[in-house]
Amino acid sequence: MKLASDGSYTGFIKVHLRLSRPVTVEESVLGAPDGSPSERQDCRQGEDRTSFYLPCDCVKQLHISSMTTTREVIQGLLKKFMVLDNPRKFALYRQTHRDGQDLFQKLPLCERPLLLRLLAGPDPEQLSFVLKENETGEVEWHAFSVPELQNFLVILDKEEAERVRAVQSKYTMYKRRLQQALQQHDP
């Protein structure tokens, strides 16, 4: 870390990416399998997007200042990987090791990760940073794109239709049993 003339520090932090869901990038970023730009990208000029999984637990270093916030770290990581997903879908966690266990704590968006690193020292057992999906318990619908929301609606429609069929089937069976029971008791 280096001390700047204004009293702030600059330095590197390592962030482990542990994402369980795919991320969205422009197809032009990926290009064709041989490394050349894809033909579809030339025709549509970057309209196509594709999703893929980032390698599990890959590590990325970021050069930041002590004034850089958690929000800016998340945005910087997404920019480095050219991810188009809304930054609100992700959260930065501090990971500590105690009594043989990994403990995770979600960092507030206004937290300053380099200051935490400075206070914890260089030992990764004391503190490391992990980027994960933002698991707040509440779905942040505004963080999804329109195609993603439409896909959710399709899935929900299918689930609803299946549930309706199951309920109708159940009560159709009850109706048959009831009619059979009435016929047996009716002379």
Name the token pair of 111.
Answer: 């937290």
> Contact, 113 vs 92, CB < 8 A?
yes
Whether residue 13 has pLDDT greater than 70: yes
Shared domain check, 185 and 115: no
pLDDT category of residue 37 using cuts at 50, 70 and 90: very low
Q: How far apart are the first and last CA of the chain?
A: 95
Torsion angle, alpha carbons of 102, 105, 111, 112, to 10 = 0
Whole-model pTM: value is 0.62
Shared domain check, 103 and 13: yes
Nearest one of 145, 17, 137 to 86, comparing CA atoms: 145
pLDDT of 141 reads 75
**Spacing of C-alpha 92 from chain mean position:** 11
Least confident of 67-71, 94-98, 139-143: 139-143
pLDDT of 109 reads 94
Domain that holds residue 64: 2-19+54-140
pLDDT of 162 reads 94
Q: Is residue 47 part of a domain?
A: no
- Tell me which of 139 and 34 has the higher pLDDT: 139
Q: Is residue 48 part of a domain?
A: no
